[in-house]
Amino acid sequence: MSSRVSPIRSTLCPLLAALIWGSAFVAQDIAAKDLGPFTVNAVRSWFGAFALLFISLLLRKKFAVPQEKRSTYKKQLIWGGLGCGLLLTVAANLQQAGIGDTDPGKAGFITSLYVVLVPILGIFLRRRAPYTVWIGIALSLVGLYLLCITDSFTIAPSDLLILLCALFFALQILLVDRLPEINSTHLCCVQLFVVAIASTVLMFVFETPSLALIIKHLFPLIYIGVFSSAIAYTLQIVSQKGSNPTVVSLLLCLESVFAVLTGWIILGDTLNPREILGCCLMFAAVTLASIPTKDKKMA
C-alpha cells in the first residue's frame, strides 16, 4: 500500500502545488497593482488560514491525535508552525517587495534558486543528495534561465531582496522536513495564521490599507488565499513526508514552467524556441532527479 501512496505524495502533490502557484501569477499581479505587499500577504493569509481551520474542524475526527500524545503534539505544532510561519512571512514579503522593482522573469529565476540552496543547506543537516539530483539541479538552473531571463542579467538592489527570499524559502522547506509527525493541514493552518498576524502588523506599520481597494480585488485575493496559500502550501508539506526535500524543491520549481504554459493556454501568449527548450530542460531535470538510487541513505 505504501508503494502506491509514496509516489502520490512525493510527485503528484508538489506538481499540483507548482501548477497552482504558476497559474496564480495573474491573480497576484492584479492584486499587487493597487495593494502593498504586506496588505496582499495579510489578506490572502487570513483567507487561507480560515479555509484550513474550517477543513481541520470538518475532519477533526479523522485528524484526531491520541490523548496520550496531545500535549507533545501541541507543543510541536505550535513551535513548528511558528517557525515555518515566520520564515514564510519573511520570504513572501521580501519577494513581494523585490518584485515591484525588478523584471518578473528575473524575479522568478532568482526565487527559484532555493532549488540550489536546499541541498547546500541540507549538507549541514546531514541530508546528502545523490549525483542524479545535483545533475538535475544544474539542468534546472539552465532551464530556468532560458525560461525567465530574456534580457542581459544584472544584479540590482531589489534582486538581493528576492535572493534573500529564496534563502528563507529554502529554510522553510528544510524546517518542514524536520516536522514529519505533525499533520500537514494542522501545520499549514498554524503557519498561515502566523503569516496573517505578522503581515497584518507590518501592514498597519508600513502601509495605509484601503478597505475599498481590498474589496475591489477581493476575488483574486480569495483565489490566491485559498488556492496558493491554503491548498498549495498544504500540498508542499504533504509531499515532504518521507521524501527528499531537494527532489521536492525541484518539483516545486516547475511553477515557472506552469506559469508560462498557463499564459500560453489561457492568455494566448506565444512560446519561443528558447522558452520551449527551457521547459524541456526543467522536465528533464525533474525526471532525472526523481530516479531512485541504490544508496538509500542519500535518497
pLDDT score at 32: 77
| Residue of 128 and 84 predicted with greater confidence | 84
C-alpha cell at 187: 501545520
Query: Which of 122-136, 221-235, 282-296 shows the lowest per-residue confidence on average (mean pLDDT)?
Result: 282-296
pLDDT score at 206: 93
114: CB partners within 8 A, 6+ apart? 166, 167, 169, 170, 173, 249, 253
Most confident of 131-145, 149-163, 219-233: 219-233
Q: Residues 260, 8, 130, CA angle at the centre, nearest 5°?
A: 80
Domain ranges of the chain: 10-289
Q: Residues 180, 144, 94, CA angle at the centre, nearest 5°?
A: 60
| Residue of 37 and 101 predicted with greater confidence | 37
Interatomic CA distance for residues 294 and 190, integer angstroms: 37
Are the C-beta atoms of residues 147 and 256 closer than 8 Å to each other? yes
The region that residue 191 occupies, defined by phi over 0 for left and psi between -120 and 50 for alpha, beta otherwise, is alpha
How does pLDDT run across 63-73, given as a tens digit for each residue? Answer: 888 888 888 99
pLDDT score at 207: 92
Mean pLDDT (the chain, rounded): 81
pLDDT score at 299: 36
